[in-house]
């Protein structure tokens, strides 16, 4: 744990989002409560997940060392302190950092560099959702890390857990000639509208949103999202209107679903309220118990898109008006990026051969004449702290700091005057980031796999790295049709590497051979990256991990020699058929005995004999913690804060905070019956009295209505000053009210499963 953690708490950090700082204080208190055993491990797990603090491989305190499974004796193992079910407190974890639409500036890159150095292993990792991830982080360091991010306007809130994940968007939004309009402000508007919104706190699973500026290109990958929007313009009565083609219910995972069209033209002013209504329907009707069927795609499939739409529109009609739905529309042009340097073409500038190779694959000509976007290819999405700082400098030198991360795990620099491209390339070369091949077969996407993920079966990064190295060596001599193929690798069937939408996709599986387990990859062919992830590939069979390069060699070789004119890889695979493909790969699937070839019994980049024994329980799904459980936990945190104020002799604050905790508990219960209860103290008290006090629902078997009375009396005296004695008493009462609220909530739950019980029948 860092010695400076407490110092960061005292730093006067000015965040563009002050509410983020309060959010971090709350999280820090929750860490303290967990250490004191006052928060259940399951609830704490979901709490930290909703702050992006994720588990990592071996955090159950066990690791296979190639010969035996070793127990890792973390100091906290002695006290049995956990940060989730079977998750050791001291075990390193991963911190996911949300980057809405991938948009970053140089200051943010620099802070990312500092955090990678000081808290992680010196590497920042760009994910397939435009996030950053830092690995090997101690949970005690996460509040300080979050404070430093908040200082530059970045939040980790709801980066993991059953929440709205990072909102992604095409990294070329605003500069692409095929787009209808720039989706950036809409992606930003929706991301911050839904961030922490009460209506997205009670999902059974995560919810992913993507924006695309056009329909045909790949960048937005709308079809594989829970909610995807494509920019559309329509002329009505001679007036051009902006809107969106709206899709819902897409997703990859073990059972991939193509999203269904919800609306052909959703006017821009309806985007946020419709997203809110969708969230409400998902929270209300989505599966909560079986996490394998809890994504919205299952709800849409179960109800049918028409019924789902009817329910959403019905919900939309009942939503209380919110000015934020449209406030941001008046500011959408404030996000418009401007170039730093005047537009000049590249004509006549001397160019090296290396520059030309890079220029061919890594440069996108913007719709703004004379400007280009350069893709900085990051091997496996990894970038060092030094490279991040240098990239910040390059972006300042040639642009107005217009940087975005991409779902291909790269970074783009936008608004470069074309005449500057040779200098940009030279600067990138110096820091080892001038590799060509963006968007080609060497630009392989991979999830973390067995390197750090608890669910990983095979080493996706190991395989991706090996393929990348082999293919890069001969890429310039490759047939162009092969160069333009996409390879994507996942460590398991959960598709974080997006293998379904690659020409050649692979996901980790295992097979038994004798007394051994052999790492394999399932071969998935013919997915479509273009048309917003237009179609998914089909599994062709599992091949030992070490033979996957040979699979790539054979398939691409045959494609080159037998493809018909302009035939895509997908069409080629369909034409030759699954049987032919299986025949081609059949000999590769045979596993020789361990004595004959032990190399097949290890995985790429990992010398240990292979096992699947290191797999743990994933946290992708988060824990199912209800809205009410969160509410009651928040009330408990407040009463803890009130106790701290008492200790500090701040009696007025102690009394007020204790009352606030009672009110939070009461409101939480009221919301179980009246979800939209306004945040008005008188109304909350009135609703509580009618629904829980007068009905005796809140009454204790022995104490009767005493605890409810504590709250109602405290409400009446809420504006009176507190003497030390009264403050003490209020804190004591608050604790009892919260206990009673827990008890009442248990009664409500029991009544849901057996309504007669509530009526005392």
Partner 1 sequence: MNLQHINIKFYLENPEAVDLAEYSTVFNSWIQQKRLQGLLIDVADYLHVHHGPGIMLIGHEADYSLDNRAGRLGLLYNRKEQLEGTNPEKLAQAVLAALTAAQILERENGLKFIGSEVQVIVNDRLLVPNTVESFDALEPDLQTFFTRLYDGAEHTLAHLNNPRERFTVNVKTESRFDVDTLLKNLSVEAAHA
Q: Which residues bind partner 1 (CB under 8 A)?
A: 1-4, 7-8, 11, 57-58, 63, 65-67, 70, 72-75, 90-92, 110, 114, 117-118, 121-123, 135-136, 138, 379-380, 382-384, 386-387, 389, 431-433, 451, 462, 465, 468-469, 605-608
Write down the least CB distance from residue 451 to partner 1, Å. 7
- The residue among 326 and 384 lying less far from partner 1, judged by its C-beta, is 384
Q: Are strands 445-446 and 487-490 parallel, antiparallel or unpaired?
A: parallel
Considering beta carbons, is residue 433 or 666 the nearer one to partner 1? 433
Closer to partner 1 by Cβ: residue 243 or 379: 379
- At residue 332, the 3 state secondary structure works out as helix
CB of 73 to partner 1, least distance (A): 6
Q: At closest approach, how far in Å is the CB of 30 from partner 1?
A: 23
User: Among residues 615 and 628, whose Cβ is nearest to partner 1?
Assistant: 615
> Least Å distance between CB 2 and partner 1?
6
- Closer Cβ to partner 1, 135 or 260, answer by number: 135
Q: 24 or 383: whose CB is closer to partner 1?
A: 383
CA separation for the pair 190, 194 (Å, rounded): 6
CB of 596 to partner 1, least distance (A): 21
Return the ∠ at Cα 351 (arms to 345 and 357), rounded to 5°. 100
Q: How far apart are CA 206 and CA 212, in angstroms?
A: 20
Candidates 278, 284, 282; CA nearest to 262 is: 278
**CB of 353 vs partner 1, minimal distance in Å:** 20
Question: Which DSSP letter does residue 573 get?
Answer: H
CB of 440 vs partner 1, minimal distance in Å: 17
Residue (552 or 741) nearer to partner 1, CB: 552
Q: Which residues contact 203 (CB under 8 A, 6 or more apart)?
A: 162, 163, 279, 282, 283, 286, 294
Strands 411-417 and 371-376, bridge-based pairing: antiparallel
Q: β-pairing, 260-267 with 363-365?
A: unpaired
Residue 543: other Cβ atoms inside 10 A: 23
Return the axis-axis angle of helices 651-673 and 627-647, rounded to nearest 10°.
170
Torsion region of 603: left, alpha or beta (phi above 0 gives left; psi -120 to 50 gives alpha): beta
Smallest separation (angstroms) from partner 1 to the CB of 357: 17
CA dist 117 and 384 (Å) reads: 9
- Alpha-carbon radius of gyration of the chain: 28
Question: Residue 601 Cβ, how far from partner 1 at the closest point, in Å?
Answer: 15
Nearest in space to 230 (alpha carbons), one of 217, 373, 240? 217
479 contacts: CB under 8 Å, gap ≥ 6 = 560
For the CB of residue 136, give the shortest distance to partner 1 in the complex, in Å.
6
* Nearest-approach distance from CB 160 to partner 1, in angstroms: 21
At closest approach, how far in Å is the CB of 81 from partner 1? 14
Answer yes or no: are the C-beta atoms of 540 and 585 closer than 8 Å.
yes
**Cβ atoms of residues 113 and 148 within 8 Å:** no
For residue 258, the minimal CB distance to partner 1 (Å) is 34
CB nearer to partner 1: pick between 379 and 439: 379
Q: Centre a 10 Å sphere on the Cβ of residue 590 and count the other Cβ atoms it contains.
A: 10
How near is the Cβ of 132 to partner 1 at its closest, in Å? 15
CB of 29 to partner 1, least distance (A): 22
Under 8 Å between Cβ of 506 and 523:
yes
Q: How far is the CB of 415 from partner 1 (least distance, A)?
A: 24
In whole angstroms, give the CA distance from residue 474 to residue 462.
19
Give the residue with the Cβ less far from partner 1, 92 or 243. 92
Which residue intervals of 381-430 are DSSP H helices? 385-398, 421-430
Nearer to partner 1, 469 or 723 (CB): 469
For residues 142 and 154, give the distance between their C-alpha atoms in angstroms, rounded to a whole number: 14
CB of 749 to partner 1, least distance (A): 40
Cβ nearer to partner 1, comparing 148 with 205:
148
Comparison of 227 and 383: residue with beta carbon closer to partner 1:
383
Nearer to partner 1, 75 or 724 (CB): 75
**171 contacts 212 by C-beta, under 8 angstroms:** no
* Alpha-helix residue ranges (DSSP H) falling in 444-547: 460-474, 480-483, 530-533
Q: How many whole angstroms separate alpha carbon 414 and alpha carbon 412? A: 6
When the beta carbons of 378 and 639 are compared against partner 1, the nearer one is 378
Q: How far is the CB of 581 from partner 1 (least distance, A)?
A: 30
For 239-270, letters b (16+ CB in 10 Å) and e give: eeebbbbbbbbbbbbeebbebbebbeebebeb
Q: Which is nearer to partner 1, 84 or 249 (CB)?
A: 84
Contacts of 501 (CB under 8 A, 6+ apart): 221, 224, 252, 486, 488, 527, 528, 529, 533, 536, 537
Count how many residues are written for the chain: 761
**b or e along 499-510 (b: 16 or more beta carbons within 10 Å of the residue's beta carbon)?**
bbbbbbbbbbbb
Closest by alpha carbon to 276, among 234, 241, 231, 326? Answer: 326
DSSP 606-635: EEEEP-STT-----TT-----HHHHHHHHH
**Which residues are CB-contacts of 497 (< 8 A; sequence separation ≥ 6)?**
128, 445, 446, 447, 449, 460, 488, 489, 490, 491, 505, 507
């Amino acid at each position: 744990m860092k010695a400076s953690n407490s110092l960061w708490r005292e730093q006067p950090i000015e965040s563009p989002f002050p509410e983020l700082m309060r959010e971090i204080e709350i999280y820090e208190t929750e860490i303290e409560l967990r250490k004191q055993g006052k928060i259940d491990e399951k609830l704490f797990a979901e709490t930290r997940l909703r702050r992006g603090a994720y588990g990592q491989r071996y955090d159950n305190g066990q690791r296979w060392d190639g010969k035996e499974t070793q127990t890792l004796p973390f100091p906290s193992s002695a006290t049995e302190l956990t940060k989730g079910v079977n998750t050791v407190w001291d075990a390193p974890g991963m911190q996911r950092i949300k980057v809405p639409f991938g948009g970053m500036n140089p200051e943010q890159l620099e802070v990312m560099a500092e955090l990678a150095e000081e808290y992680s292993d010196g590497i920042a990792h760009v994910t397939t959702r435009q996030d950053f991830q830092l690995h090997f982080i101690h949970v005690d360091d996460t509040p300080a890390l979050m404070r430093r991010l908040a200082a530059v306007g970045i939040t980790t809130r709801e980066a993991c857990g059953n929440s709205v994940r990072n909102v992604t968007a095409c990294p070329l939004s605003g500069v692409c000639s095929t787009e209808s309009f720039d989706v950036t402000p809409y992606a930003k508007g929706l991301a911050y509208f839904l961030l922490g919104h009460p209506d997205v706190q009670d999902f059974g699973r995560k919810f992913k949103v993507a924006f695309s500026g056009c329909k045909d290109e790949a960048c937005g990958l709308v079809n594989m999202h829970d909610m995807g929007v494509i920019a559309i313009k329509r002329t009505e009565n001679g007036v051009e209107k902006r809107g969106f083609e709206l899709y819902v219910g897409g997703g990859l995972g073990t059972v991939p679903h193509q999203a269904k069209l919800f609306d052909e033209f959703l006017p821009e002013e309806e985007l946020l309220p419709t997203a809110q209504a969708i969230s409400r329907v998902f929270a209300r009707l989505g599966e909560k118990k079986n996490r394998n069927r809890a994504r919205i795609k299952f709800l849409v499939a179960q109800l049918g898109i028409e019924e789902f739409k009817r329910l959403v529109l019905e919900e939309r009609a009942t939503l209380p008006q919110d000015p934020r739905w449209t406030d941001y529309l008046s500011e959408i042009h404030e996000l418009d990026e401007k170039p730093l340097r005047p537009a000049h073409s590249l004509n006549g500038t001397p160019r090296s051969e290396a520059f030309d190779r890079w220029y061919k694959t890594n440069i996108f000509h913007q719709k703004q004449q004379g400007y280009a976007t350069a893709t900085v290819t990051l091997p496996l999405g990894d970038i060092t702290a030094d490279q991040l700082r240098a990239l910040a400098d390059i972006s300042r030198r040639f642009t107005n700091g217009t940087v975005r991360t991409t779902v291909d795990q790269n970074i783009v620099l936008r608004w470069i005057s074309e005449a500057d491209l040779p200098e940009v390339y030279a600067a990138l070369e110096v820091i080892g980031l001038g590799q060509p091949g963006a968007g080609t077969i060497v630009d392989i996407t991979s999830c973390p796999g067995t390197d750090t993920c608890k669910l990983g079966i095979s080493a996706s990064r190991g395989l991706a790295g090996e393929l990348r190295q082999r293919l890069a060596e001969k890429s310039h001599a490759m047939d162009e049709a092969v160069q333009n193929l996409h390879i994507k690798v996942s460590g398991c069937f959960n598709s974080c590497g997006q293998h379904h939408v690659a020409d050649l996709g692979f996901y980790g599986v295992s097979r038994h051979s004798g007394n051994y387990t052999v790492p394999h990859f399932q071969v998935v062919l013919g997915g479509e990256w273009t048309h917003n992830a237009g179609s998914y590939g089909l599994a062709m069979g599992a091949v030992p991990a070490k033979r996957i390069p040979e699979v790539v060699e054979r398939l691409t070789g045959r494609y080159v020699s037998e493809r018909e004119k302009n035939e895509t890889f997908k069409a080629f695979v369909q034409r030759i058929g699954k049987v032919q493909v299986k025949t081609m790969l059949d000999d590769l699937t045979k596993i020789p005995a361990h004595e004959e070839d032990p190399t097949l019994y290890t995985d790429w980049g990992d010398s240990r004999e292979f096992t699947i024994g290191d797999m743990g329980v994933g946290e992708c799904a988060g824990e199912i913690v209800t809205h009410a459980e969160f509410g009651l936990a928040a009330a408990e945190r407040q009463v803890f804060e009130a106790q701290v104020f008492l200790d500090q002799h701040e009696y007025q604050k102690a009394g007020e905070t204790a009352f606030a905790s009672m009110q939070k508990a009461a409101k939480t219960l009221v919301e179980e019956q009246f979800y939209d209860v306004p945040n008005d103290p008188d109304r909350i008290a009135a609703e509580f009295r009618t629904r829980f006090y007068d009905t005796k629902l809140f009454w204790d078997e022995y104490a009767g209505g005493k605890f409810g009375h504590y709250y109602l009396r405290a409400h009446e005296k809420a504006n009176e000053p507190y003497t030390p004695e009264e403050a003490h008493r209020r804190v004591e009462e608050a604790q009892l009210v919260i206990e009673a609220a827990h008890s009442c909530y248990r009664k409500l739950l029991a009544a849901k499963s057996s309504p007669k019980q509530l009526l005392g029948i």
